[in-house]
Structure 1
Amino acid sequence: MKSREKAVRMTLVAASCVWLFGVPFAAHAQSRVTLSGIIDAGILYANNSGGHADWSTTSGQLTASRWIMTGSEDLGGGSHAIFRLMSPFNVQNGHGTGRAFNVAYVGLADDRFGTVTVGRQWDTTIDTVSGFASNETWAGYIGAHVGDADNTNASFKVSNTVKYASPQFAGLSFGATYGFSNQAAAADGSSGFANNRMMSAGAAYARGPFAAGIGFLQADRPDAQPAGALGAPGAGVYDDYENTFSGSIASTAGVQRQRIWLAGASYQFFGALTLGGMYSKTQYRYLDATALTLDNYEANLTWQITPAWETGVAYIRTSGRYSGSGTGDAEPGWDQINLGTEYAISKRTTLYLIGVAQQGRHAVAQIYGVTPSSTRRQLVVTSGIQHQF
């Protein structure tokens, strides 16, 4: 989850929610619903987008624009019933971005035993590792590793999930997520249990100035059928799984299996400087028996210049290896530099400026969210304003 979601929230008692949304129910004295959200808009420049310079307006470059509604009911003894609904939208045209709710879950939370939620939500690696990547903090969506193949941008959420998150034990926490295929049988009559399912697990540690995390994710046959854990082509809704590498370069074949391993850490010096980094390995196995491995190495430094002003720099090196008939055993690679600064002009409103420069090695440059360059180099700069409510 983006750190920018730490919004200043407007809290309403349950009875007020009944009035706002017209849903009749008996209000509980210990229940509450919180409405919050993020509005993020700006301008983006790309020096080469498919061979041409491009100026465009943007929505949600630092953090996706969205409405958020959360609820909690005190059940006593340190237990709560909880829910979250999140609806993204495009500031520039007022439209939604596909699903009515990109995140929607309900569950139980207990101070001693942890939290269990059911619905559509982030996988566990987003909780334990992605925060060590610069794009998850100050570099925005364009600062993601190539194609966001390791999902540190949370480009895809997971449907049909059951998720567990532990409480902290002396700084240590852990969790796991399982996304069901929701298919009893495949078209050929075989079991559909693994057709578009997802599983992930991870652990995190934080104590004083030091923090670290690890995670693993596996997606099986994400293109097999549209009602499973991940979005699939032809599903009739926004397909948030598709990316640069979700199809084989040797044919039109989709993914048989995707695995992601991640590890990250950070250390804060002098109360203002944070040195961090992460490593991820993504493996795609395609239905045509070809494969791709991507290794991402990132080092980043964040400087909290004043309580209101933060700036950061990151270097990312990506190495890829194709294998199998028709791939030519190609070894594409990319080097990327992220620069970003943001200034909070109030508790709710932030101005930001982000620049990303990338150079391909045996590959064209393709900064995330922008049409690939016609050359090995690409520069993208975006500036905007974000308001939290």
Structure 2
Amino acid sequence: MKSRSMTVRAALAGSLGACLCCAPLAAHAQSSVTLGGILDTGLLYANNAGGHAQWTTASGQLSSSRWILSGQEDLGGGNRAIFRMMSPFNIDNGHGPGRAFNVSYVGVANDGYGTLTLGRQWDSTIDFVSGFATNETWAGYIGAHVGDADNTNATFKVSNTVKYASPTFAGFSFGATYGFSNQAGDFAGNRLIAAGAGWSRGPVALGVGFVQADRPDSQPAGALGAPGAGIFDDYSNTFSNSIAGNPGDAGVQRQRIWLAGASYRIGTFTLAGLYSKTQYRYLDATALTLDNYEASVTWQMTPEWLAGVAYIRTNGRYSGEGTAGAEPGWDQLNLGTQYQLSKRTTLYLIGVAQQGRHAQAQIYGVTPSSTRRQLVATAGIAHRF
């Protein structure tokens, strides 16, 4: 979900100033600074949101509205200094997430040795695996797996990170991320470790990834945002507490996510699949495992017009005292189409239907249904600049 942007350059012998938010923005001949972003909004309908039908405006359903500022400087010897800052906002009311930038990092890149960055950024699985999920391509945020427990929506970013991404060797690349706890005497209190790898050649693409978050909501200064920090920062979802519900003792001790995806292009069709396993171990000694299976077909009908369909099956299993062997499950159908009015402006229509098995329906980002079924549709426009 990258945007086409305008590039600000200065290569004149005299001085050249550019104004951004009343501050000068300058660059030299061997460097560049790019200002861009995405504006995305539309209408959303839910047939059952807490027992009622609902019509709302919906900011950022296909891709979150945001400002993006990035740049690089040639350091010589094939080395480049790079940076990126992203500031999301709700286009419908102008509100931000409570922090100036949701992504902010700086680092050094070399075509032969790879890229090393430090700051707040995505974990490595987003780079290698999430693109096989339809919610990250054409089905929007409502198309995520239940609760986005496997984080394919990149619901949580990672603070205090050191991240490495390798060059591509014969189609193969890999990366790793470490998010520090920033807590004296407690290296594991809200830290995150992630790794991923991918390979592509011709019509075939493969990706795998792993994430481990230790005591992710134990203290706010660590790798993941603490509950209440803001809508874009919270480490919270449908499954962030044990169903045993022991007061003050039901948060997450450890979360692990395994992901594997693949795709194959056949002419104008792309077949894709994604498997993810998410394991929660709670502080009250209970546990939850979620297995997601997703299969999709995307059809590029014309250069401007795309359509897709996906089926997702989620199997859940609780264990431990007080969970009574609960095994919730969900079946979900994603449908979507996009039409590009230009290289920067896209119209989209997305529909998601879900049915719970021993569980209420709860399409991501929408108030859960009062029954086992829920239908959500959204139509909107996204403009990249």
- When normalised by structure 2's length, the TM-score is 0.95
- Greater alpha carbon shift after TM alignment, 8-17 vs 304-313: 8-17
**Partners in 2 of 1:237 and 1:375 — Cα distance?**
26
Does structure 2 conserve the Cα–Cα contact (< 8 Å) formed by 1:17 and 1:33?
Answer: no
Matched ranges for 1:345-360 at <5 A = 345-360=341-356
Q: Can you list the C-alpha shifts for 1:160-214, whole angstroms capped at 9, x where unaligned?
A: 0000000100000000000000000xxxxxx311000000001000111000000
**What code does the residue aligned with 2:74 have?**
D
Give the Å deviation of 1:26: 7.8
Matched ranges for 1:366-377 at <5 A = 366-377=362-373
**Partners in 2 of 1:267 and 1:25 — Cα distance?**
43
Give the Å deviation of 1:43: 0.2
Q: CA RMSD in A?
A: 1.5
Counterpart of 2:97 in structure 1 is: 97
Counterpart of 1:323 in structure 2 is: 319
Does structure 1 conserve the Cα–Cα contact (< 8 Å) formed by 2:59 and 2:90?
Answer: yes
**What code does the residue aligned with 1:219 have?**
A
The DSSP-based 3-state class of the residue aligned with 1:147 is helix
Does structure 2 conserve the Cα–Cα contact (< 8 Å) formed by 1:301 and 1:313?
Answer: yes
Does structure 1 conserve the Cα–Cα contact (< 8 Å) formed by 2:280 and 2:288?
Answer: yes
- How many residues in Structure 1 have an aligned counterpart in Structure 2? 378
**What code does the residue aligned with 2:240 have?**
S
Matched ranges for 1:1-389 at <5 A = 4-5=1-2, 7-13=3-9, 19-20=19-20, 27-184=27-184, 191-235=185-229, 239-251=233-245, 252=247, 253-270=250-267, 272-389=268-385
**What code does the residue aligned with 1:359 have?**
Q
Give the Å deviation of 1:18: 5.5
Does structure 1 conserve the Cα–Cα contact (< 8 Å) formed by 2:27 and 2:33?
Answer: no
Does structure 1 conserve the Cα–Cα contact (< 8 Å) formed by 2:157 and 2:233?
Answer: no
Q: Can you list the C-alpha shifts for 1:93-130, whole angstroms capped at 9, x where unaligned?
A: 01112221000000000000000000000000000100
**Partners in 2 of 1:357 and 1:22 — Cα distance?**
47
The DSSP-based 3-state class of the residue aligned with 2:244 is coil
Q: Can you list the C-alpha shifts for 1:109-165, whole angstroms capped at 9, x where unaligned?
A: 000000000000000000010000000100000000000000000000000000000
**Partners in 2 of 1:211 and 1:157 — Cα distance?**
25
Identity of aligned residues (%): 75
Give the Å deviation of 1:21: 5.2
**Partners in 1 of 2:138 and 2:177 — Cα distance?**
26
**Partners in 1 of 2:232 and 2:143 — Cα distance?**
22
Q: Can you list the C-alpha shifts for 1:314-368, whole angstroms capped at 9, x where unaligned?
A: 0000000000111111000000000000000111110000000000000000000
Give the Å deviation of 1:311: 0.4
Give the Å deviation of 1:16: 5.8
The DSSP-based 3-state class of the residue aligned with 1:67 is strand
Give the Å deviation of 1:89: 0.6
**Partners in 2 of 1:317 and 1:254 — Cα distance?**
26
**Partners in 2 of 1:371 and 1:328 — Cα distance?**
26
Does structure 1 conserve the Cα–Cα contact (< 8 Å) formed by 2:173 and 2:199?
Answer: yes
**Partners in 1 of 2:24 and 2:302 — Cα distance?**
47
CA separation of 1:237 and 1:311: change in aligned 2, threshold 3 A: closer
**Partners in 2 of 1:267 and 1:239 — Cα distance?**
34
**Partners in 2 of 1:32 and 1:53 — Cα distance?**
49
- When normalised by structure 1's length, the TM-score is 0.94
The DSSP-based 3-state class of the residue aligned with 2:368 is coil
